[in-house]
Amino acid sequence: MTDSHDIKTKALIFEHDGEADNILKELCQSHSITGLKASNPSTFDLLNSNTDLGAVFVSDKFIVEDQHGESLVKTIHKLRPELPIFYRVEDTSSVKALTPGQNVSCVYQLDKFDCIEQTISKHIFSTHYPTPLVQGMKEISLDAIQSNIRNCVIEIDSPYLVKDQIIYGELMSLIPIESSWYRGYMMLQTTEAEVISMIENGMTPLNPKDTDFRFVNSLLNEIANMIWGGIKRKFADKDNMQADDSSLRTQVPISVNHFHKYISFGTTEPQLCFHYRIKNEFDETQCVELYQKFVFNLAWLPENFQETNDTVEEMVDSGELELF
Q: Residue 298 belongs to a domain with what CATH number?
A: 3.40.1550.10
For residue 227, tell me if it sits in a domain.
yes
pTM listed for this prediction: 0.73
What is the arithmetic mean of pLDDT over 52-80?
Answer: 86
For helices 213-235 and 192-200, give the axis angle rounded to 10 degrees: 100
CATH number at 114 reads 3.40.50.2300
The answer to whether residues 108 and 141 belong to one domain is: no
The answer to whether residues 89 and 136 belong to one domain is: no
What is the arithmetic mean of pLDDT over 65-90?
Answer: 86
The answer to whether residues 162 and 185 belong to one domain is: yes
- In terms of Cα–Cα distance, which of 133, 160, 220, 129 is closest to 3? 160
Which pLDDT tens digit goes with each residue over 113-130?
777 877 887 777 777 888
CA distance 101 to 78: 14
Identify the residue with better confidence: 50 or 240.
Answer: 50
For residue 277, tell me if it sits in a domain.
yes
The answer to whether residues 208 and 269 belong to one domain is: yes
- In terms of Cα–Cα distance, which of 27, 4, 7, 3 is closest to 302? 7
Question: What is the secondary structure of 215-240 as a DSSP string?
Answer: HHHHHHHHHHHHHHHHHHHHH--HHH
CA distance 230 to 137: 8
The fraction of the chain above a pLDDT of 90, given in percent, is 33
The answer to whether residues 119 and 150 belong to one domain is: no
Identify the residue with better confidence: 185 or 43.
Answer: 185
CA distance 212 to 233: 32
> Which domain, by its residues, includes 69?
8-123
- The rounded mean pLDDT for the chain is 82
For residue 316, tell me if it sits in a domain.
no
Identify the residue with better confidence: 277 or 323.
Answer: 277
For residue 275, tell me if it sits in a domain.
yes
Where among 93, 123, 153 does a domain terminate?
A: 123
For residue 318, tell me if it sits in a domain.
no
Q: What is the structure's pLDDT at 112?
A: 75
Where among 74, 100, 123 does a domain terminate?
A: 123
Q: What is the structure's pLDDT at 240?
A: 52
What is the arithmetic mean of pLDDT over 208-221?
Answer: 94
Q: What is the structure's pLDDT at 284?
A: 80
Q: What is the structure's pLDDT at 207?
A: 95
User: If you average pLDDT over each of 21-25, 34-38, 226-230, 235-239, which comes out highest?
Assistant: 226-230
The answer to whether residues 212 and 285 belong to one domain is: yes
Q: What is the structure's pLDDT at 93?
A: 65
List the alpha helices (DSSP H) in 149-212. 192-200
Q: How many domains does the chain have?
A: 2
The answer to whether residues 50 and 22 belong to one domain is: yes
The answer to whether residues 118 and 153 belong to one domain is: no
The answer to whether residues 22 and 163 belong to one domain is: no
The answer to whether residues 293 and 229 belong to one domain is: yes
Angle, alpha carbons 273-41-269 (nearest 5°): 25
Residue 311 has pLDDT above 80, yes or no: no
Q: Which of 181-195, 282-296, 309-323 has the lowest mean pLDDT?
A: 309-323
Which pLDDT tens digit goes with each residue over 255-295?
999 888 889 998 878 899 999 999 999 988 889 999 999 99
Confidence category of residue 1, pLDDT binned at 50, 70, 90: very low
Residue 48 has pLDDT above 50, yes or no: yes
Where among 90, 123, 156 does a domain terminate?
A: 123
The answer to whether residues 256 and 140 belong to one domain is: yes
Residue 2 has pLDDT above 50, yes or no: no
Residue 323 has pLDDT above 80, yes or no: no
Residue 183 has pLDDT above 50, yes or no: yes
Q: What is the C-alpha end-to-end distance of the chain, expressed in Å?
A: 39
Q: What is the structure's pLDDT at 221?
A: 96
The answer to whether residues 52 and 167 belong to one domain is: no
Q: Residue 294 phi/psi, 5° resolution?
A: -115, 130
CA distance 317 to 324: 14
For residue 270, tell me if it sits in a domain.
yes
For residue 314, tell me if it sits in a domain.
no
What is the arithmetic mean of pLDDT over 129-157?
Answer: 92
Residue 39 has pLDDT above 80, yes or no: no
For residue 2, tell me if it sits in a domain.
no
Confidence category of residue 310, pLDDT binned at 50, 70, 90: very low
Element (H, E) at 241: helix 238-243
